[in-house]
A and B are shown apart, each in its own frame.
Chain A
Amino acid sequence: MSRGAAIAAPRRGFVHALRELRRAFNTNITSWIGLGVFLAIVLFAVLAPVIAPFDPYEQHIIDRLKGPDATYWFGTDAFGRDILSRLLHGARYSLVIGSVATVSAMIIGSAIGIVSGYVGGRVDLAVMQVMDVLMSFPSLIMGLMIVAVLGPSMGNLIFAIALTAIAPFARIARAPTIVIKQRDFIEACRALGFSDLRIMVVHILPNVMAEILVLGTLWLATSIRVEASLSFIGLGLKPPIPSWGGMVREGFEVILDSAWLSIFPSLAILLIIFALNMLGDGLRDAVDPKLRGGE
């Protein structure tokens, strides 16, 4: 038996945490709806090259600004491009940008939060003050500043959105770390000579994972919204890439004549954000001890 196994009892562990989460999650129907809708959107995005009726870039000038009909289910835009096809392909960009930015922020932010909480003292104070400064900027404003300086590209968008999300992850990881590090099993780990890195990765991280995952779900929605907002104000992906925010913007120019150009991408943004928020709320309720009447 290893030394680690001897003190395994106090920690919940990944499997245990996920099992607990699933049990609580099962009781919340809205979470399942959110998850279902989100997975459906992901599926549509993955299958976009197969199921999209047209090339999202192909212009049919003669059919420009056509309303929804049997050929173009969601109508066409000012260049005669099929809106449904652009929506399906646009989902890929929104999801990739949103998820890569969120996962990056989740990894970096959690690492900062756990280290800061674990080390404590002046390091903790300094790190948290920097995080406070970062959090004082609304995510859209921060994203806007970064993209305006670096220029609009997919990489810069991901970087900008990720940077805005690091601070919340750092804070959510730090608070439980401070509590956990004072518990007996951590003391035992130290007494057994475990390295700080091992204690943080193997013994603290699993205990804060549920909270981080919940925040991740909610931030995925925020990331997608920020990307759409930046695209709407012209700081998103370059034309002709079909981003949802960019499509709303393009539609806005002809909203008086052809409202569907903006309506469908707006509905898509609304749907995915609703789905992710429902999912995130369900997860949050599941991990919140007060709400599930535990501990």
Chain B
Amino acid sequence: MNRMLFGALALGAALAAHPVLAQKTVLNIGMASADAGKLDPHLSATTPDKALFNFMFNGLVRFKPGSMNPETIEPDLAEKWTSSEDGKTWNFSIRRGVQCHHNYGEITSADIVYSLQRAADPKRSGFSSDFKDFDKVEAVDANTVRITLKNAVPSLLGLLTNYHGGNIVCKKAAEEMGENFVKKPIGTGPFMFGQYAPKESVTLVAHKGYFRGAPKLERIVYRYIPSDASRDLAYTSGEIDMLYGKGEQVWVERMRKLDNTIVDVFEPAEMAVLYLNTKMKPLDDIRVRQALGHALNINEVVQFKGAAVARAAKSVVPIGYLGFTDDVPLLKHDPARAKALLAEAGYPNGLTVKAIHTSLPGMLSTIQVVQQQWRRSGINLDLEIVEHATFHAEIRKDKSAIVQYQAARFPIADTYLTQFFHSSAIVGTPTAVTNFTHCNDADAEIVAARSEPDPVKQKALWKTAQQKLMTKVCALPIYENMLVWARRANFDFGIKLEGSLNLGPVVNELSHFK
């Protein structure tokens, strides 16, 4: 009997020690980027960075993992909360015993106050405009935070999720490290920063003291592989277990044919929009902007991407967002009209427009389709193609006449309209966010809608805002692309993945290899 027991134990030990037979605890992810951007959740809005923050940070509240429906918002670092009747004063009870990564101590009200003030500070955050209606954030006691608003915000809880400025950073670490925080970001999430190899990877390690329980995975190796083909090869050769997919039907169909592979197509659909700089020549002439719109064939772009992953955009706010309307003057594809408008504007022989563009394959292929459509109407789009992180830096310096930006935001019209079309968000200004157009025509409606208590009137204001922006041709919405990732079938997220506002799959303490 003893001999049998010994034998069984020896076999078990041998199996556990064997690299193949032991349960895999390292998740290798392939991301479409040449390198990390800024590894600070309050500074970076790039898809590759946001997908990584998803594993490392908590908010006061969170979307139910795998969902991005605002109705599913649930407690995260805050256990519970109350709000005043006018919606201007909110009290949050902070969960006790939550540990910051790398022994930076237990999270308290002071951390939450610091983090939200940091997120609201334009010098330390790229999302400060989201918090401009915040009057005060204060610690009532060690475990209670009070937020006082100047005006009621359409969805305060949305701002406090683990997304953009809502990600909570640990005060002691952020203060100690200052600008070096980007080299070792400290949060409270299930995985913590381990190592960064430039242009190669970021390694995250399990946060054993995570308040929801120790993660089942030991490590996540987040590898930067910008080439689609190289990423696909890395997957098929077994180097990586999960990868950022090419948002095209051809890719989805091919990956679905592979053994032991699941393709996840999930929300949010990132909306690709061409933002037109209305202050830069020749786009300062509305006839030129209208010509660009008429020369654009949205249906052809959707056909190019594939119906399984893309749908035509209908407005400057994505479909399905609270406040979205398709009752807007969308310019119809009409190359003859485009040529006539160009001639009217003084360009009978066509014109050249310069634009800075990312080398990210999915976006680059879209702009090349658009480039050819415009060429048919005599518009030469001269592209300066740069690496994705450089693209983000350059377009924020107001250097590009046209910016193709693909994004998803908290699903409410206000966030999109404020960040992309309010005058306070104009790039190159101290409060800049992502208003590349310089349009300010809908400022009044955007501001009024924020504090409008009547939902019907609020929607009407958002509708007017969209109509004004589309009439002035501040931007040309193109299409909405669902997120596409593929993974090994034996890798289980531990949740049902239907949506992820951080644009990457949810990998948390429950995720594991079967």
Contacts and interface: CB of A to CB of B under 8 A. Distances in A.
Chain B interface, DSSP helix/strand/loop, else mixed: helix
Interface stretch (A31-39, A195-203, A248-256): A248-256
B112 to A, nearest CB: 44
B385 A253 contact: no
Interface stretch (A14-22, A46-54, A61-69, A125-133): A61-69
Contacts of B460: none
B229 A238 contact: no
B365 interface: yes
A254 B232 CA distance: 10
Given A61-B300, A238-B382, A253 B361 contact: yes
B166 to A, nearest CB: 35
Interface in B357-373: 359, 361, 364-365, 368-369, 371-372
Contacts of B372: 57-59, 79, 240
Contacts of B304: 61, 64, 79
30 contacts: A57-B375, A58-B372, A59-B369, A59-B372, A61-B303, A61-B304, A61-B369, A62-B303, A64-B304, A79-B304, A79-B365, A79-B368, A79-B369, A79-B372, A234-B359, A234-B385, A238-B383, A238-B384, A238-B385, A239-B364, A239-B385, A240-B368, A252-B227, A253-B227, A253-B229, A253-B361, A255-B229, A256-B229, A256-B254, A257-B254
A140 interface: no
Nearest to B299: A61
A239 B229 contact: no
Chain A interface, DSSP helix/strand/loop, else mixed: loop
Contacts of A65: 250
Interface in B317-365: 359, 361, 364-365
B406 to A, nearest CB: 18
B228 interface: yes
Contacts of A103: none
Contacts of B227: 252-253
B233 interface: yes
Interface string A70-110: 00000000110000000000000000000000000000000
A268 B233 CA distance: 25
A239 B369 CA distance: 11
B371 A239 contact: yes
Interface residues of A, number: 20
A277 B245 CA distance: 42
B358 to A, nearest CB: 12
A257 B383 contact: no
Contact of A257 (B250, B364, B382, B384): B250
A285 to B, nearest CB: 41
Contacts of A78: 365
Contacts of A256: 229, 232-233, 236, 254
Contacts, number: 50
Interface of A: 57-59, 61-62, 64-65, 78-79, 151, 234, 238-240, 252-257
Top-9 shortest CB links A-B: A59-B372, A253-B228, A61-B304, A253-B229, A255-B229, A252-B229, A61-B303, A61-B300, A239-B368
Given A238-B382, A253-B227, 9 more contacts: A58-B372, A61-B303, A61-B304, A64-B304, A79-B304, A79-B368, A238-B383, A240-B371, A256-B236
Nearest to B300: A61
A221 to B, nearest CB: 27
A61 B368 CA distance: 12
A112 B303 CA distance: 57
A78 B369 CA distance: 10
Interface in B362-400: 364-365, 368-369, 371-372, 375, 382-385
Interface string B34-62: 00000000000000000000000000000
A254 B365 CA distance: 12
Interface string B463-475: 0000000000000
Contacts of A253: 227-229, 361
Nearest to A78: B365
A234 B384 CA distance: 11
A67 to B, nearest CB: 13
Contacts of B371: 239-240
A78 B364 CA distance: 12
A254 B229 contact: yes
Contacts of B303: 61-62
Contacts of B236: 256
A151 B383 CA distance: 12
A240 B361 CA distance: 14
Contacts of A62: 303
Contacts of B383: 238-239
Contacts of B361: 253
Contacts of A255: 229
